[in-house]
């Protein structure tokens, strides 16, 4: 009888002490708050082709890039965005970045990426990025990279934070 | 009296071993991760063979910000597991676990895949035998374990959301201890464990660099109520993993991972030293999870034992 009481009390105590307290997100994937690593301005859903400021600067290459979403990715649909490379003094004019452009969708807290995207060079300094997809909800980074000769060589990169 | 004690011992060791298997089923959080708690012989048996089938469904992702986000896609795994443990000298034992996973995901990058997960092995030493009954002194078995990354990891595939992912991708060495105790109708179990991941370098489409996952720790406490040929068990396990640091092309410092798993199980002892267990595990009930995926699992296991 005593053992049964101990058992019951222990089970109840452990259960109460250890209970989880879920804090569910009120935002569905694809509609989160997003900002770049250097500036908190949101670029989502903008239809901008003539940027006025350099929100995403490549510090080594002295270039800027603007990211404009065409389609926000969701669980059921790939996203796409445009990139425009320009010099800070002349934001109206797109310039060739001079290196191969790479995009990595990276989840820094978990230490892994998502999947490869499709990169199309539309015109000088303008790139279209398709098949943008995040494999799980959470905090992601869109890493825009200027690549070197080797597959593992990155000359410069900027990071756009993204919450999916 | 001796036969009753022997029976209790057999029943407990049967169900206690099953508890470990149950915790394994729910131990895999994100990306084929989680640790492997081994099958350890805690009773008077020479050999134990356990087969189990678990169905696990990912329900929610929890970020490092503590925000819970329901998954929209279905991510379901069937894990068939074969565990064998055998005494090979007075106090030493050896065990191996072979898990096979079939995983189905819906969504844009969904699909179906099946293959071997990470296999593990362990060597145990009974450092605290219970040859004479004591009301409080537990029976203790220590062990060292090795996890071999035979499953495909998130670092091995092109799309990290691929259903092919079935392992952690890293070797790990662990050390732990299992303590068990029984009192007439009740039994209790405690497991403590620590493991160290070995750094590994990858070079593929996704990753050119070194993965350093550091250390991890886990613990489990469980209680059981025994009546006739049945045992009703409940346990909670906690798992902590160091941040995963990536160096190289896409470097990042990571964030710690933490989750708890609650398990309820019912076991029945059958003739011929066999037993069956059905259990339910839920990672959404306990603890303060962070940076992980939370699953619910149902497991059925069949166990055969051979006496010394």
Ordered mean pLDDT values, 10 residues apiece, chain A (164 residues): 67 72 75 49 48 85 93 92 93 92 94 93 96 91 91 88 90
Contacts of residue B90, defined as CB under 8 A and 6 or more positions apart, other chains included, come to none
pLDDT at residue A150 in the model? 78
B206, B207, B223 member nearest A10 (Cβ):
B223
Q: A48 vs chain B: nearest CA distance in angstroms?
A: 28
Distance between CA atoms of residues A24 and B288, nearest Å: 13
Nearest to A94 by CA among A124, A133, A64: A124
pLDDT at residue A32 in the model? 53
- DSSP string over B147-159: EE--S--TTTSSS
Q: A43 vs chain B: nearest CA distance in angstroms?
A: 22
B254, B284, B285 member nearest A109 (Cβ):
B254
List Cα–Cα distances, B288 to B114, B192, B239, B277, in angstroms.
32, 19, 11, 28
Nearest to B64 by CA among A111, A104, A44: A111
B288/A154 touch (CB, cutoff 8 Å), yes or no: no
Element (H, E) at B24: helix B2-25
Q: What are the chain A neighbours of B289 within 8 Å (beta carbons)?
A: 20
pLDDT at residue A145 in the model? 94
ipTM: 0.81
Q: A79 vs chain B: nearest CA distance in angstroms?
A: 11
A11/B234 touch (CB, cutoff 8 Å), yes or no: yes
User: How many contacts does A have with B, using Cβ atoms within 8 A?
Assistant: 137
Q: Residues B16-25: what's their mean pLDDT?
A: 41
Question: How high is the mean pLDDT of chain B?
Answer: 86
A23/B236 touch (CB, cutoff 8 Å), yes or no: no
Per the model's pLDDT, the better-predicted residue between B39 and B49 turns out to be: B49
pLDDT, tens digit (0-9, with 9 covering 90-100), for B166-186? 999 999 999 999 999 988 889
pLDDT at residue A50 in the model? 65
CA-nearest residue to B283 within chain A is A20
Q: Residues B268-289: what's their mean pLDDT?
A: 93
Q: Residues B244-258: what's their mean pLDDT?
A: 92
CA-nearest residue to B105 within chain A is A135
Which range, of B7-16, B161-170, B276-285, averages the lowest pLDDT? B7-16
Predicted TM-score (pTM) of this structure: 0.85
B207/A112 touch (CB, cutoff 8 Å), yes or no: yes
- DSSP string over A25-54: -SS-TT-----BSS-----TT---SS-SS-
Q: What are the chain B neighbours of A110 within 8 Å (beta carbons)?
A: 30-31, 244, 254-255, 257, 291
Determine which of B59, B108, B167, B227 to mutate to test the interface with A (most A C-beta atoms within 10 Å).
B108
pLDDT, tens digit (0-9, with 9 covering 90-100), for B108-137? 888 999 999 999 999 999 999 988 888 889
Q: A49 vs chain B: nearest CA distance in angstroms?
A: 29
CA-nearest residue to B157 within chain A is A115
Q: A138 vs chain B: nearest CA distance in angstroms?
A: 6
Query: Which residues of chain A are at the B interface, by a Cβ-Cβ cutoff of 8 Å?
Result: 3-4, 6-7, 10-11, 14, 18-25, 29, 75-78, 104, 106, 108-116, 133, 135-139, 143, 151-154
pLDDT exceeds cutoff 70 at B29: no
pLDDT band at B228 (very low <50, low <70, confident <90, very high): confident
Q: Are B201 and B187 in contact (CB under 8 A)?
A: no
């Amino acid at each position: 009888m005593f053992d049964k009481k101990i058992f019951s009390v222990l089970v109840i105590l452990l259960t109460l002490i250890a209970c989880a307290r879920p804090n569910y997100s009120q935002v569905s994937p694809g509609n989160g708050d997003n900002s770049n690593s250097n500036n908190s301005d949101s670029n989502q859903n903008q239809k901008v082709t003539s940027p006025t400021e350099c929100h995403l600067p490549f510090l080594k290459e002295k270039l800027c890039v603007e990211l404009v979403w065409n389609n926000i990715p969701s669980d059921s649909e790939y996203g796409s965005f445009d990139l425009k490379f320009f010099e800070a003094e002349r934001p109206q004019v797109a310039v060739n970045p001079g290196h191969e452009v790479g995009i990595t969708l990276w989840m820094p807290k978990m230490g892994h990426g998502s999947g490869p995207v499709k990169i199309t060079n539309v015109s000088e300094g303008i790139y279209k990025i398709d098949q943008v997809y995040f494999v799980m909800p959470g905090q992601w980074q869109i890493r825009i990279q200027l690549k070197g000769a080797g597959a593992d060589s990155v000359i410069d990169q900027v990071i756009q934070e993204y919450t999916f | 009296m001796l036969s009753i004690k022997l029976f209790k011992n057999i029943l407990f060791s049967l169900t206690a071993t099953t508890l470990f298997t149950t915790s394994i089923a729910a131990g895999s959080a994100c990306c084929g991760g989680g640790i492997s708690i081994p099958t350890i012989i805690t009773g008077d048996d020479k050999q134990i063979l356990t087969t189990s089938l678990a169905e696990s469904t990912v329900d929610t992702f929890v970020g490092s910000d503590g925000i819970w986000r329901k998954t929209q896609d279905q991510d379901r795994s069937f894990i068939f597991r074969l565990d064998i443990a055998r005494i090979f000298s007075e106090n030493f034992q050896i065990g191996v676990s072979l898990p096979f996973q079939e995983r189905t995901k819906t969504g844009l990058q969904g699909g179906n895949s099946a293959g071997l997960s990470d296999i593990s092995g362990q060597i145990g030493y009974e450092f605290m035998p219970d040859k004479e009954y004591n009301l409080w002194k537990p029976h203790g078995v220590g062990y060292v374990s090795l996890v071999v990354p035979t499953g495909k990891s998130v670092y091995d595939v092109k799309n990290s959301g691929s259903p092919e992912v079935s392992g952690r991708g890293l070797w790990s060495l662990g050390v732990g201890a299992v303590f068990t105790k029984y009192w007439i109708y009740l039994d209790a179990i405690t497991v403590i464990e620590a493991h160290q991941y070995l750094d590994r370098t990858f070079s593929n489409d996704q990753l050119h660099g070194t993965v350093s996952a550091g250390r991890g720790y886990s613990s489990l406490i469980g209680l059981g109520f025994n009546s006739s040929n049945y045992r009703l068990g409940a346990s909670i396990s906690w798992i902590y993993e160091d941040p995963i640091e990536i160096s190289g092309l896409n470097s990042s410092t990571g964030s710690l991972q933490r989750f708890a798993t609650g398990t309820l199980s019912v076991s029945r002892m059958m003739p011929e030293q066999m037993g069956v267990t059905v259990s339910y595990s839920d990672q959404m009930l306990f603890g303060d999870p962070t940076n992980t995926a939370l699953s619910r699992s149902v497991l059925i296991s069949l166990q055969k034992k051979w006496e010394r």
